[in-house]
Amino acid sequence: MDYNKIKITENQAINIALENYNIQGTAKPLPGEIDFNFKIDATDGAEYILKVSRPDENADYLDFQQKLLLYANDQAKDLTVPKVIRDRQGNLISEIKDEYGNIRKVRLLSWISGRVWSTVNPQLDNLRHSLGEHCGRLTYALQGFDHPEAHRKFVWDIAEGAWTTDYLHLFSGEQKEIVSYFQDQFKQARSGYSQLRKAVVHNDANDNNVIVSQDLISPKVVSAIDFGDSVYTHIINDLAVACAYAIMGHNDPLEAAIPIVRGYHRSFPLEENELEHLYMAIAMRLVISVTKSAINKKEEPDNTYLLISEKPAWELLRKWKDVNADFAHYSFREACGYSVHPKEEKFEAWAKKHSFSLDKLFPTICSNMIHPLDLSVSSKWLGHEMDFNDLDFFQYKLNKLQREHPTRILAGGYLEPRPIYTTSSYDKIGNTGRESRSIHLGVDFWLPADTPVHALFDGEVVTAVNDKGDKEYGGLVILKHQEEGSEFYTLYGHLSVASATKYEVGTKIKAGDVIGVLGNWPENGNWAPHLHFQIMLSMLHYKIDFPGVAYQSQLAVWKSLCPDPNLLFKTKGLVERQATSNSDIIGYRKQHLGKSLSLQYKVPIKMVRGAGQYLMDQYGRKYLDTVNNVAHVGHEHPAVVKAGQEQMALINTNSRYLHENINALAKELLETLPPELSVLHFVNSGSEANELAIRMVKAATGEKDIIASEVGYHGNTNMCIDISSYKFDGKGGRGAPEHTHIFPLPDAFRGKYRGENTGEKYALEVKKQIDNVQAQGRGVGAFIIEPIISCGGQIELPEGFLAKSYQYVREAGGLCISDEVQVGCGRMGSSFWGFQLHGVVPDIVTIGKPLGNGHPLAAVACTQEVAEKFANGMEYFNTFGGNPVSCAIGAEVLRVVKREKLQKHALEVGNYLKKELMALALNFPIIGDVRGQGLFLGIELVNAKMQPLAAQTDYLANRMKDHGILMSTDGPDHNVLKIKPPMVFSQENAKELVFYLKKIMAEDFMQL
């Protein structure tokens, strides 16, 4: 009989605790590789972990663990470490006989409360940083401890990882290639690796041995438990183990490792030579893990605990192999505050002693002066995407600028975040959504095609190729230099292919030699002739290419690997531009702007550019916009921008002068409206539109009383605030004015009347307000409502409600206003206007935000009868309402909606998205309701008792922002996520939105 496989039962564990430790309680089995582990819940409320060994366990090995725990508790009293509980006789280790007479060793430790790391979601940078901190503090606490068993041969010791080569035959194909690759690295590193510091370390901070606090917003590591793998080994191995498990499941494992390294170094300073081997050590821990799994599949196929990390370990090994070892090393150095490249300071010292003029690089130009060219994300000179993608126009602008500065070289670009890299080859899916390489690592010099480029100093050709394998980007030459013991590289991009490929690799180049000549279209793709010049301290793994742009998240590393070319040229204007920081902008706002102006998100974003359904911050990061319905046909739609620019260049004046544009806009708008609404007035905003509508009501009916919905919002002017319950019933409000009458929010999900067939009931609430007005001897002026109530939480009006309410209002002599400021212009998908969803025709329609696509433009459409009564002799004049520029923009917006079939698009994408959101609700019960039409949707979060979950809604919106998706909350209880993106929002965007909603919905804070 194999006595090692005989399990200890729960009842046996209860008896062991009672007989050996005088503890009464219950026992719950826990996973373990060697011991049988049980959580003991004592009747007095105390908690313990009972560890029962397998027969014939080494007593010295267990003594080692107990002594280590005693030492750690003594040395670091502020560090949470399991405490050793002595048995009745005061022993650290007890002995029992099992039913077969086998001696088993028993230990009892204090229980550490919290959550196991593997159950924590999300595992963000702050948590990983605290993991590194805790592990570093534990290593510090164990300094000076030793024990004979600490020096045992141990298969889980990375330093002993060479044993895995004996089992390489267990793998095949890609797996064998990966394991062999890292085994070779380990072998090659032995000489330097063997010299690293050693100590007794925990060596097993895996995802089931790390305890995290119960805090769901800002969790921290409480303790590392299970010291069974502690061993005397290289200190860096302890950090490698912590990284290996904590970075599993991340798209970018290197990025995930950095906070752990930074936290460890903060608690226990790491030496530079240790960081050189960390990448390899992480890989070897994973190699040991998958090798043990392969062995265990044969030896213990039923022990699932032994196999638990196999799949994520393989996934991580594949990703880790794609990480350049040198780049990882430099990233670790940066995380620990060392110079990124070991020879960075030496290069800078050399560069400071020398100066190289630009006329050495371009002798035929004979100029050492530059004119800085701004190609940054926020560059006004760069202009619209349609401008910088127009080759002829871009060249025209360059030529014009060059004529203005004939004695200067147009140049710039170091660390400049640029919007021009738009293909998918510049993108990746990182740990927080999509990232784009946007930070320019060199300097561009814009000069005529065929301009010769000369070497600044002696060098050796290491790359001389057509850098992309075709003629799209031109040729590339990279030279290696040795100057006074400083080794570095210079890169010359966008040369002509012929000149770039004339040199063989290894060719020696002398200072002043011609490297190549600048290429011309089409060799330079979308750009006019120019030289991309870049300095590198390392070639990393690149042979025939090298990145010219980098991710913002890796800027600190790339900035050091690719130093500022101005270190060589020392030319004013080439230096990195320093933009105003977000904190400075916020500080100025707080001091000089109105205190009631709010900012979106806990950490506000500075947006500098828009394109379609995306917004872009100052670093070039794209955010998928699900909120800004103002940009109706897409941010900075080319046709709309062009329409405004062309008209602005001619004239912009008021509607008292004749101009075709106002008629053209009116014609486009009237084609979308029912024939009853045949008169238009143009204004500048939705607020002005609703203000004018109320004026029309008073003129047409002679009445002042307005009936509106609870939580309705209709604008920010005095009259609009007076009819907006969202404002006067909210913070700072003073309740409804005398002539405003509010009926309950017609919310069939969580309102006064719930479920189906509530339309008539809510219509009767409108009737009550009519009766109230008439009881005071007054008449009803108007009834105003949005067809989907936006600030109320994207509330769809119950079936039959609007038609019945219109009937009641008109019977009382009032007018019906449809506020289409947010929902109009095709957004509903199945109809162009929201009121059309309900089969009614209002007397007045107010139109706002979407019509101008961000430009201040709005309109009021009304019947002939209303218009005639409003024209009572008092002139209505709005200086900018209906001006030629606004009208040109508005007409083009409507044409784009029709030309690009955006109404149909809204219907198809909206239906798809709504269906997917409803499917999501099946998995996440806190999604109480999904509602809306077209691309105007709402998601309401509630608990099982239908109580609003404002905190979770806010958390979700902010976490989505972290992943590059902009969302916002609404509703009277702030528990509704609103979705009203630009109309070009695609089905792929919808899939991305749902993917990240699902991801974040699964996080701990979202669970009830």
Give the C-alpha distances (Å, rounded to integers) separating 180 from 175, 278, 453, 573, 668: 8, 18, 44, 50, 69
Rounded Cα distance, 213 and 469, in Å: 52
Q: 831 in helix, strand or coil? A: coil
pLDDT digits (tens, 9 = 90+) for 649-682: 999 988 888 899 999 999 999 999 999 999 999 9
Q: Give the single-character DSSP code of 626.
A: S
Tell me the H-state helices in 776-820.
801-811
Residue pair 266/133 in contact by the 8 Å Cβ criterion: yes
Q: Is the pLDDT of residue 471 over 60?
A: no
Residue pair 723/759 in contact by the 8 Å Cβ criterion: no
Average pLDDT, stretch 443-459? 93
Structure tokens belonging to residue 724: 């907006």
DSSP 565-605: THHHH--TT-SPP-PPPHHHHHHHHHHHS-TT---SSSS--
Structure tokens belonging to residue 201: 């370390």
Q: Give the single-character DSSP code of 731.
A: T
- State which H helix or E strand residue 789 sits in: strand 788-789
Instruction: Count other Cβ atoms within 10 Å, centred on residue 368.
Output: 17
Average pLDDT, stretch 127-147? 97
Tell me the H-state helices in 649-685.
660-670
Which pLDDT score, from 0 to 100, does residue 707 have? 97
Structure tokens belonging to residue 752: 């006064």
Q: 95 in helix, strand or coil? A: strand
pLDDT tier, 897 (very low <50, low <70, confident <90, very high otherwise): very high
Rounded Cα distance, 559 and 537, in Å: 11
Among residues of the chain, what percentage have pLDDT more than 70? 97
Cross-strand pairs, 39: 28, 49
Q: Is the pLDDT of residue 254 over 50?
A: yes
pLDDT tier, 721 (very low <50, low <70, confident <90, very high otherwise): very high
Q: Is the pLDDT of residue 1 over 50?
A: no
Mean pLDDT (the chain) is: 92
- Strands lying side by side in the sheet with 965-966: 607-611, 614-617, 622-625, 965-966
pLDDT tier, 594 (very low <50, low <70, confident <90, very high otherwise): confident
Closest CA to 573 of 368, 360, 396: 368
Which pLDDT score, from 0 to 100, does residue 413 have? 85
Which pLDDT score, from 0 to 100, does residue 422 have? 73
Residue pair 707/809 in contact by the 8 Å Cβ criterion: yes
Instruction: Count other Cβ atoms within 10 Å, centred on residue 736.
Output: 18
Average pLDDT, stretch 700-725? 94
Which pLDDT score, from 0 to 100, does residue 76 have? 86
- State which H helix or E strand residue 556 sits in: helix 555-561
Structure tokens belonging to residue 369: 């002066």
Give the C-alpha distances (Å, rounded to integers) separating 725 from 706, 707, 839, 931: 12, 11, 26, 22
Segment among 88-97, 315-324, 514-523, 616-625 with least mean pLDDT: 514-523
Number of H helices, E strands in the chain: 31, 41
Residue pair 341/560 in contact by the 8 Å Cβ criterion: yes
pLDDT tier, 306 (very low <50, low <70, confident <90, very high otherwise): low
Which pLDDT score, from 0 to 100, does residue 106 have? 95
Which pLDDT score, from 0 to 100, does residue 303 have? 65
Rounded Cα distance, 521 and 879, in Å: 48
Structure tokens belonging to residue 138: 């534990």
Which pLDDT score, from 0 to 100, does residue 300 have? 73
Average pLDDT, stretch 389-395? 82
Q: How would you classify the pairing of strands 433-440 and 514-517?
A: unpaired
- Strands lying side by side in the sheet with 780-785: 679-683, 858-862, 844-847, 815-819, 780-785, 705-709, 740-743
pLDDT tier, 861 (very low <50, low <70, confident <90, very high otherwise): very high
Which pLDDT score, from 0 to 100, does residue 527 have? 66
Instruction: Count other Cβ atoms within 10 Å, centred on residue 615.
Output: 23
Burial group, residue 470, by CB count within 10 angstroms (0-12, 13-18, 19+): exposed
Residue pair 336/265 in contact by the 8 Å Cβ criterion: yes
Rounded Cα distance, 109 and 107, in Å: 7
The backbone torsions φ and ψ at residue 723, rounded to the nearest 5 degrees and listed phi first, read -115, 10
pLDDT tier, 573 (very low <50, low <70, confident <90, very high otherwise): low
Q: 179 in helix, strand or coil? A: helix
Rounded Cα distance, 444 and 494, in Å: 10
The backbone torsions φ and ψ at residue 965, rounded to the nearest 5 degrees and listed phi first, read -125, 125
Which pLDDT score, from 0 to 100, does residue 676 have? 97
The backbone torsions φ and ψ at residue 221, rounded to the nearest 5 degrees and listed phi first, read -70, 130
Sign of the C-alpha dihedral computed for residues 208, 213, 215 and 217 taken in this order: negative
Rounded Cα distance, 57 and 38, in Å: 18
Which pLDDT score, from 0 to 100, does residue 506 have? 93
Which pLDDT score, from 0 to 100, does residue 757 have? 92
pLDDT digits (tens, 9 = 90+) for 37-87: 999 999 999 999 999 998 888 999 999 999 999 999 999 888 999 999 999
Tell me the H-state helices in 423-508.
497-500
Q: Is the pLDDT of residue 980 over 70?
A: yes
Alpha-carbon dihedral angle through residues 664, 668, 670, 671, given to the nearest 10 degrees:
140
Q: Is the pLDDT of residue 718 over 80?
A: yes
Q: How would you classify the pairing of strands 443-446 and 433-440?
A: unpaired
Segment among 156-165, 403-412, 571-580, 936-945 with least mean pLDDT: 571-580
CA 47 to chain centre: 40
pLDDT tier, 822 (very low <50, low <70, confident <90, very high otherwise): very high
Three state DSSP letters for 907-957: HHHHHHHHHHHHHHHHHCCCEEEEEEECCEEEEEEECCCCCECHHHHHHHH
Average pLDDT, stretch 953-972? 96
pLDDT tier, 395 (very low <50, low <70, confident <90, very high otherwise): confident
The backbone torsions φ and ψ at residue 193, rounded to the nearest 5 degrees and listed phi first, read -65, -40
Segment among 158-162, 334-338, 386-390 with least mean pLDDT: 386-390
Average pLDDT, stretch 481-504? 90
Rounded Cα distance, 522 and 719, in Å: 60
Residue pair 384/598 in contact by the 8 Å Cβ criterion: no
Rounded Cα distance, 302 and 698, in Å: 82
Average pLDDT, stretch 275-300? 93
Structure tokens belonging to residue 601: 């998100």
pLDDT tier, 176 (very low <50, low <70, confident <90, very high otherwise): very high
Among residues of the chain, what percentage have pLDDT more than 90? 79
Q: Is the pLDDT of residue 133 over 70?
A: yes
pLDDT tier, 840 (very low <50, low <70, confident <90, very high otherwise): very high
CA 191 to chain centre: 42
pLDDT tier, 359 (very low <50, low <70, confident <90, very high otherwise): confident
Rounded Cα distance, 418 and 285, in Å: 40
The backbone torsions φ and ψ at residue 461, rounded to the nearest 5 degrees and listed phi first, read -70, 120
Q: Is the pLDDT of residue 522 over 60?
A: no
Structure tokens belonging to residue 594: 């109105």
Q: Is the pLDDT of residue 473 over 60?
A: no
Average pLDDT, stretch 544-569? 93
Q: pTM higher than 0.85, yes or no?
A: yes
pLDDT tier, 238 (very low <50, low <70, confident <90, very high otherwise): very high
CB neighbour burial string for 811-845, b if at least 16 within 10 angstroms, e if fewer: ebebbbbbbbbbbbbbbbbebbbbbbbbebbbbbb
